[in-house]
Structure 1
Amino acid sequence: MTTSRSELLSFRTQHPFLFYTSAFFLVVLLLFTALAEYFKPLGKRKGKDGKVPHLPPGPSGLPILGSLLDVKEGIEHQDHTKLKALSRYGEMTTLHLGSKTFVFLNSSRVATEIINKRGSTTNERSFYPVSSGIISHNHRRSLLMHQAAWAEPRRAMHSLLSGSHLKLYGTWQELESTQLLAEYLLQPKLWHRHHYRYANSVIHRIALGERMAKSSKELEDMQNCVTYFTSSIMTSAVDWFPDLERLLPWWFVQPWRLSWGWLDKWNYDVYKRWWDPVKKKVENGTAPPSFVRDVLLHPDTKYTGDDDDAMYAAMQLVEAGSDTTRMVLNVAFMAALEHPNAFRKAREEVDRVCGKDANARLPTLADFEDLKYICAMTKEVMRWRPILPITPDHTSTKDIDFEGYHFPAGTGFVLNIAALGEEARDPDSFVPERWLDGHETNIAHGLWLFGGGRRICVGYRLAQNSLFLLLSRLVQSFDLKPAGPYNSRRLHFHATSEPFPVDMTVRNKHYEKLILTEAERAGVLEDAKLERDKL
């Protein structure tokens, strides 16, 4: 021992730079090893009962980070190649993301077994300190809420699915879609802007009760609420290493919390500017029918949340219902450019049900059961180019044993939408006929984009009605052709400018007259002209 110590001291004296450099890297290595052990993903730890997880295969990933960078790249690239490739491991793929373990579900069979049939134990969300904590104003964003907090807003939102409410909302959807047709006619080159106005107006009236009259800046702020929230999930390290908040000293944590706190305040202020006028009208008895008036702030519903809870429930409905509908409509335009034959078949169906040329009338929601090809086409639009490549995780609250695997409590199960869409035969082709299976009028059947189990998106029927109206009326009245080169896999979902070049023309003079007549009868023609003049 003495000799070794003497040799070490001698080495330090003769080679001081090499000695201290080696010591530094040794300390770094030990620290790195300690961190890797401390943040070991759930799926690599023994359970409290000593039982070792047995998980499906998957990529090994990087030390500590795991597969975080690959998943981030897979989400950001619109062809979703990396997410689709996960199915090469099988129907389930295990990914370690920071200190979390997620199992990606790549087939409808296992998605049904895990998400739907075991929904009572896969109903939780994992904790995201930034996204579901700071930015969401203490877990008020229902998308990532823990189960206990999520139950009350979920109960309130179920009213959106009741028959009486859907009928009233359907009247509004028909009116707004009539204005959209007039906007297409008056200013076809700005079709993408009209989509955002339409989607916002529909959900604004359903949630808040009035037709939308917001400035471009207000609409931009609302869209940014979604953009900043979703981007925060993959950009905050603490969301993937939640123990960091407990591990780091307060003087390090506080500046970090403040760095995200500005976004919470900005988001909160945006919501308040939309919420306060509506709340005031409810209080003084002048508010029209709406989700806010008749559910969130109505004494008979006994909604137990406070004012901020109600505000977040309403405004998240506005957020989700506007941005997603806009993006799906853009996908429909791309499908029309790429696969015109399917749209010709859809037009034939509409003509058969609603008449043709001088005898034509606009399709309505009353035609829903008679326009099954349109229903099937709506589902195919959402499968063909999914606007969301994955869904938020469904975290298990108990250990799950399934087909030889042992998933410990806390495992996150993720619907790999990109891979699930590839289950179809010839998946890159646009084939609405694949959905003509007797369930075409149920948009959630066999289509996982709305999620599944108990946390399925409560507004899926509202979305279906909006898309049904728009697609049936679009194929009836307009022709779409490419106006320049484009890439069908580059949809630029978040772009405010034209995402791809489209030449849009009315079918003939009969449909031009039909649109103008119906828009004037509905009282929205002047609004469409005002939108044209503003733009």
Structure 2
Amino acid sequence: MTLTKVAAFAGSNPVITWLTASFCLLTAFTFLILAHFKPIGKRGSKTRLPPGPQGLPLVGNLFDIARCVQDPDHTFLTSLSQYGEMATVHLGSKTWIFLNSSRVIHEIFNKRSAVTNGRGELPISSGIISRDERSVLSHVDKWTEKRRVMHSLLSGTALKTYGDFQELESNQMMANYIKEPQRWYHHHFRYANSVMLRITYGEKLPMGEKDLEDLNYVQAMFLKTLGTSVVDWFPDLAKLPRFLQVWRPYWNKLGDKTYDVYSTWWLPIKRRIADGTAPPSFVRDVLLNESTKFTGSDQSAMYLAMVLIEAGSGTTKETLNIMVMAAICHPDKFRKARAELDRVCGPNAERMPMLADMEELKYVCALAKELLRWKPIFRFATEHVATADVEFEGYYFPAGVAFVINGICAANDWEDPKEFKPERYLDGHETDALHGNWQFGGGRRVCVGYRLGFRSIILNVARLIYCFDYAANGEFDSRIIEGVGAEEPFPAKVSVRSKAHEELISQEARKQDTSGM
């Protein structure tokens, strides 16, 4: 049949005409979608990117990334090392360059930080849920002012003042261990949150357990939503007319819940500052102090304060949980750290380890860094988007391409990576949180409180190893650490080391109660 006859037949048959028109429209629409949502890394003729895995049309490797969360073997992230020190992965309309070695992370994040400190468009996680106020996700223009204010956390004076808070809250955690050893994981969670609340607001946990659980809930839900919305991978969908954005009611509920929970904590401290009864704190003395001249809104100040608590508590809590697993799985390393503690603090519970002991506790500090490497908390960190074109070792990355630390490959970028070996960090930089460790990020976007966070980890790792013994309390998979807040991450049995250590803990708790702290 000739084309003329086919056309004549189609024109005389309404069904065929409708099917033909529909097919043509669908084809045109598909091509339009594919062109409009083409990954940023495939749009320029000058672009030269590293090799990477072949993805599916339109979605790229989104399904591979989604499976990462439930994969204890980190199969996809580990596989990216086959492409070299960098691997290109297209995810929806975004292009991520996974950095698989410490060398390229340092080159891209630290040496080129002036143009690799941007953030991508996240209409759900950063927009609806966070009301565009979470500093960790903010674009450079909104982030710079918040970073300026938070920079005070890095000063020596702040480390001394807040170090006192860390030791006091650690005393409470140790006492809680004695009272309820079966809730060891909850004590980690409570310490991590309460010490950051004390630093931020200047007082011990000012709210009830229900408020603390609500705070943990919105923190956990925010982390779970990162990367789970199609709209965050195809941000142009947020430009559709509002009535077509059918996803908004669902995410608005979480955004409103977050705002309400944050307000519950924020409003009381504002009232106390206004009436002159607020204790010294980051909020009173820095954020809302007139001399600081913070230019953000009240909402911006609230989110900055609450995100400081959120970011500062998560890593500490998770690392202490990992320490318990390491104590069970690698008791020889645990005993070696304890021997060092006994040498410094006495084998018969003479005194509690303090932050001032850090320089003498080289092995304990190395063990803390190994915990961060052994079980990376952040399998891949928040994207660093190039704000200008970047040329590096024969590659050309256009502005808009994102660089991401591959936490799994970076952790494996060592000799004998599968071994738990604190000795690898006995290199003269034991107390430097960033040396040989990327769990706090890098470049200008490095976690502003990394020194505070690392000191919290070292302090409590030292005290727990000094005073408690750990054993398995049932079978568990050492590849998996589960649990959010109130859930046990794996079955562990805790027992105090001796009566002398129990008395030391009680003595420190009594001194704290007597002082009114």
Select the residue among 46, 67, 71 that pairs with 2:65.
71
Q: Is the 8 A contact 2:99 2:406 kept in 1?
A: yes
Is it true that 1:355 corresponds to 2:308 in the alignment? no
Q: For 2:366 and 2:47, locate their aligned partners in 1 and report how far apart those are by CA, in whole Å.
A: 41
Q: For 1:432 and 1:220, locate their aligned partners in 2 and report how far apart those are by CA, in whole Å.
A: 34
Select the residue among 484, 495, 505 that pairs with 1:494.
484
Select the residue among 306, 311, 328 that pairs with 1:315.
306
Q: Is the 8 A contact 1:182 1:525 kept in 2?
A: no
Task: Give 1:288's aligned residue.
Answer: 279
Select the residue among 494, 508, 511 that pairs with 1:504.
494
- Over aligned residues, Cα RMSD in angstroms? 2.0
Q: Is the 8 A contact 2:189 2:485 kept in 1?
A: no
Task: Give 1:99's aligned residue.
Answer: 93
Is it true that 1:251 corresponds to 2:243 in the alignment? yes
Select the residue among 386, 394, 401 that pairs with 2:391.
401
Shift of 1:34: 1.9
Local SS of the residue matching 2:227: helix
Q: Is the 8 A contact 1:95 1:101 kept in 2?
A: yes
Select the residue among 119, 129, 136 that pairs with 1:135.
129
Shift of 1:220: 2.0
Select the residue among 211, 214, 217 that pairs with 2:207.
214
Is it true that 1:190 corresponds to 2:183 in the alignment? yes
Select the residue among 475, 491, 494 that pairs with 1:485.
475
Shift in CA distance, 217/12, structure 1 to aligned 2, threshold 3 Å: farther
Q: Residue 218 of structure 2 aligns to which amino acid in structure 1?
A: C
Shift of 1:26: 4.9
* 1:156-175 matched pairs, under 5 angstroms: 156-175=149-168
Is it true that 1:390 corresponds to 2:380 in the alignment? yes
Q: For 2:416 and 2:376, locate their aligned partners in 1 and report how far apart those are by CA, in whole Å.
A: 16
Shift of 1:18: 7.4
Is it true that 1:272 corresponds to 2:263 in the alignment? yes
My pick for the range that moved more, 370-379 or 495-504, is 495-504
Task: Give 1:6's aligned residue.
Answer: 5
My pick for the range that moved more, 21-30 or 52-61, is 21-30
Q: Where does the alignment leave 5 or more consecutive residues of structure 1 unmatched? A: 528-535
Q: For 1:125 and 1:363, locate their aligned partners in 2 and report how far apart those are by CA, in whole Å.
A: 40
Shift in CA distance, 208/76, structure 1 to aligned 2, threshold 3 Å: farther
Shift of 1:493: 4.3
Structure 1 residues 486-525: Cα deviation after superposition (integer angstroms, max 9, x where no partner): 1111101426221111111111111111111121112289
Select the residue among 409, 413, 428 that pairs with 1:438.
428
Percent identity at matched positions?
A: 50
Shift in CA distance, 90/525, structure 1 to aligned 2, threshold 3 Å: farther
Local SS of the residue matching 2:391: strand
Select the residue among 34, 37, 43 that pairs with 1:36.
34
Q: Is the 8 A contact 2:66 2:228 kept in 1?
A: no
* 1:106-125 matched pairs, under 5 angstroms: 106-125=100-119
Q: Is the 8 A contact 2:325 2:478 kept in 1?
A: yes
Shift in CA distance, 140/184, structure 1 to aligned 2, threshold 3 Å: same
Structure 1 residues 299-341: Cα deviation after superposition (integer angstroms, max 9, x where no partner): 1111111211111110001112223211111111111111111
Local SS of the residue matching 2:57: coil
Q: Is the 8 A contact 1:205 1:211 kept in 2?
A: yes
Shift in CA distance, 319/110, structure 1 to aligned 2, threshold 3 Å: same
Number of residue pairs the alignment of both structures matches: 517
Shift of 1:11: 5.9
Q: For 2:202 and 2:412, locate their aligned partners in 1 and report how far apart those are by CA, in whole Å.
A: 40
Structure 1 residues 266-290: Cα deviation after superposition (integer angstroms, max 9, x where no partner): 2111111100000110111110011
Structure 1 residues 364-385: Cα deviation after superposition (integer angstroms, max 9, x where no partner): 0110100011111110001100
Q: For 1:385 and 1:526, locate their aligned partners in 2 and report how far apart those are by CA, in whole Å.
A: 38
Shift in CA distance, 108/508, structure 1 to aligned 2, threshold 3 Å: same
Local SS of the residue matching 2:224: helix
Q: For 2:508 and 2:452, locate their aligned partners in 1 and report how far apart those are by CA, in whole Å.
A: 23
Normalising by the residue count of structure 1, what TM-score does the alignment of the two structures yield? 0.92
Is it true that 1:380 corresponds to 2:395 in the alignment? no
Q: Is the 8 A contact 2:353 2:462 kept in 1?
A: yes
Shift in CA distance, 374/189, structure 1 to aligned 2, threshold 3 Å: same
Q: Where does the alignment leave 5 or more consecutive residues of structure 2 unmatched? A: none
Q: For 1:272 and 1:77, locate their aligned partners in 2 and report how far apart those are by CA, in whole Å.
A: 36
Q: Is the 8 A contact 2:202 2:279 kept in 1?
A: yes
My pick for the range that moved more, 209-218 or 122-131, is 209-218
Q: Is the 8 A contact 1:101 1:411 kept in 2?
A: yes
Select the residue among 237, 240, 265 that pairs with 2:233.
240
Shift in CA distance, 199/250, structure 1 to aligned 2, threshold 3 Å: closer
Structure 1 residues 109-136: Cα deviation after superposition (integer angstroms, max 9, x where no partner): 0000000000001011111112111211
Q: Is the 8 A contact 1:45 1:52 kept in 2?
A: no
Select the residue among 43, 68, 75 that pairs with 1:45.
43
Q: Residue 61 of structure 1 aligns to which amino acid in structure 2?
A: G
Local SS of the residue matching 1:152: helix
Q: For 1:8 and 1:339, locate their aligned partners in 2 and report how far apart those are by CA, in whole Å.
A: 76
Shift of 1:33: 2.2
Local SS of the residue matching 2:136: coil
Shift of 1:12: 7.5
Local SS of the residue matching 2:41: helix
Local SS of the residue matching 1:69: helix
Q: Is the 8 A contact 1:54 1:405 kept in 2?
A: yes
Shift in CA distance, 525/98, structure 1 to aligned 2, threshold 3 Å: farther
